Chains A and B, each alone.
Chain A
Amino acid sequence: MDQPPKAIVGAVFVALVLVANRTSAAPTRAEVNTTAPRRARLAPLAPNDATRSHAPYESGRCGLCHVNKDASKPGPIRHASVNEQCFECHDDMRDVMSRKYKHAAAVKACTECHNAHDSIEPALLSGEMVELCLSCHVGMRRELAKSKTRHEALTKDRKCSNCHNPHAVSYDVRLLVAEFPAELSAPYEPARYALCFGCHNEKMVAVERTTTLTGFRAGSRNLHYAHVNRGRHTCRVCHEVHASRRDHEIRERAPYGAKGSTIELGYRRLSSGGSCAKVCHDARKYDNKTLTSAGPARE
Chain B
Amino acid sequence: MRPAARVTMRRLSLPIAVSLLAATPLTAKARAEPGTSIENLELKTLAGAKERLLSAKAKANVFVFFRTKQQRSIDGLMQLAACEKELAARSTYWTAIVSSSEATADVQSVVEQTGIQMPVLIDEGDVLYGRLGVRLHPMVAIANASFNLVALEPYRKGDYCEIIKMRTKALIGEGDVAGKGAASVRSQSSGADPATKAMRDVNMARRLLEIGQYNDSVKFAQRALAVAPVSAAYTVMGHAYAKLGRCAESEKAFSDALKLDPKDPDAAAAQGSCK
Q: Contact at A200–B136, with CB atoms within 8 Å? A: yes
Query: How far apart are the CA atoms of A122 and B157 in the complex, in Å?
Result: 13
Q: Contact at B5–A8, with CB atoms within 8 Å? A: yes
Per a CB cutoff under 8 Å, which of A5, A212, A215, A276 touches B126?
A212
Q: Contact at A15–B21, with CB atoms within 8 Å? A: no
Given A91-B203, A199-B137, A279-B18: A238 touches B23 (CB 8 Å cut-off): yes
Q: Contact at A92–B126, with CB atoms within 8 Å? A: no
Query: How far apart are the CA atoms of A200 and B136 in the complex, in Å?
Result: 5
Per a CB cutoff under 8 Å, which of A2, A59, A156, A200 touches B26?
A200
Question: Which one of B9, B18, B131 has the greatest number of beta carbons of chain A within 10 Å?
Answer: B18
User: In whole Å, how far is B173's beta carbon from the nearest beta carbon of chain A?
Assistant: 27
* A contact residues around B13 at 8 Å (CB): 11
User: In whole Å, how far is B38's beta carbon from the nearest beta carbon of chain A?
Assistant: 15
Interface hits, A168-207 → B, CB 8 Å: 184-185, 197-201, 203-204
Q: Contact at A238–B213, with CB atoms within 8 Å? A: no
* B89 within 8 A of partner (CB): no
User: In whole Å, how far is B82's beta carbon from the nearest beta carbon of chain A?
Assistant: 19
Given A11-B9, A11-B12, A89-B203: A254 touches B18 (CB 8 Å cut-off): yes
User: In whole Å, how far is B24's beta carbon from the nearest beta carbon of chain A?
Assistant: 3
Q: Contact at A59–B216, with CB atoms within 8 Å? A: yes
Query: How far apart are the CA atoms of A273 and B21 in the complex, in Å?
Result: 12
User: In whole Å, how far is B267's beta carbon from the nearest beta carbon of chain A?
Assistant: 19
Binds B, one of A29-37, A106-114, A245-253: A245-253
* B contact residues around A197 at 8 Å (CB): 70
Q: Contact at B137–A213, with CB atoms within 8 Å? A: no
* A contact residues around B20 at 8 Å (CB): 227-228, 231, 233, 237-238, 254, 280
User: In whole Å, how far is B112's beta carbon from the nearest beta carbon of chain A?
Assistant: 23
Query: How far apart are the CA atoms of A247 and B28 in the complex, in Å?
Result: 11
Q: Contact at A8–B9, with CB atoms within 8 Å? A: yes
Q: Contact at B199–A92, with CB atoms within 8 Å? A: yes
* B contact residues around A149 at 8 Å (CB): 27, 29
Query: How far apart are the CA atoms of A199 and B26 in the complex, in Å?
Result: 10
User: In whole Å, how far is A277's beta carbon from the nearest beta carbon of chain B?
Assistant: 8
Query: How far apart are the CA atoms of A158 and B204 in the complex, in Å?
Result: 27
* A contact residues around B129 at 8 Å (CB): 212-213
Interface hits, B1-29 → A, CB 8 Å: 1-2, 5, 8-9, 12-13, 15-29
* A contact residues around B199 at 8 Å (CB): 91-92
* B contact residues around A273 at 8 Å (CB): 24
Q: Contact at A61–B21, with CB atoms within 8 Å? A: no
Query: How far apart are the CA atoms of A48 and B172 in the complex, in Å?
Result: 33
* B155 within 8 A of partner (CB): yes
* A263 within 8 A of partner (CB): yes
Query: How far apart are the CA atoms of A191 and B205 in the complex, in Å?
Result: 42
Query: How far apart are the CA atoms of A275 and B213 in the complex, in Å?
Result: 70
Per a CB cutoff under 8 Å, which of A215, A237, A284, A286 touches B19?
A237
Scan A69-81; emit 1 where CB is below 8 A from any B CB, else 0.
0000000000000
Q: Contact at A199–B72, with CB atoms within 8 Å? A: yes
Q: Contact at A250–B18, with CB atoms within 8 Å? A: no
Query: How far apart are the CA atoms of A231 and B23 in the complex, in Å?
Result: 14
* B contact residues around A251 at 8 Å (CB): 19
* A contact residues around B101 at 8 Å (CB): 203
* B154 within 8 A of partner (CB): yes
* B125 within 8 A of partner (CB): yes
Query: How far apart are the CA atoms of A201 and B135 in the complex, in Å?
Result: 6
User: In whole Å, how far is A227's beta carbon from the nearest beta carbon of chain B?
Assistant: 4
* B186 within 8 A of partner (CB): yes
User: In whole Å, how far is A197's beta carbon from the nearest beta carbon of chain B?
Assistant: 8
Q: Contact at A237–B207, with CB atoms within 8 Å? A: no
User: In whole Å, how far is A208's beta carbon from the nearest beta carbon of chain B?
Assistant: 13
* A49 within 8 A of partner (CB): no
Per a CB cutoff under 8 Å, which of A14, A56, A123, A248 touches B191?
A123
User: In whole Å, how far is B148's beta carbon from the nearest beta carbon of chain A?
Assistant: 21
* A contact residues around B190 at 8 Å (CB): 122-123
* A97 within 8 A of partner (CB): no
Q: List 7 A-B contacts (CB under 8 A).
A: A8-B12, A64-B208, A90-B200, A213-B126, A213-B129, A216-B23, A280-B18
Q: Which 3 A-B pairs have the closest CB atoms?
A: A212-B130, A276-B21, A215-B24
| Contacts beyond the supplied A216-B25, A223-B23, A227-B20: 14 A-B pairs with Cβ under 8 Å | A18-B18, A88-B207, A89-B204, A91-B199, A121-B187, A149-B27, A152-B27, A198-B72, A201-B137, A216-B22, A248-B27, A265-B21, A275-B21, A280-B21
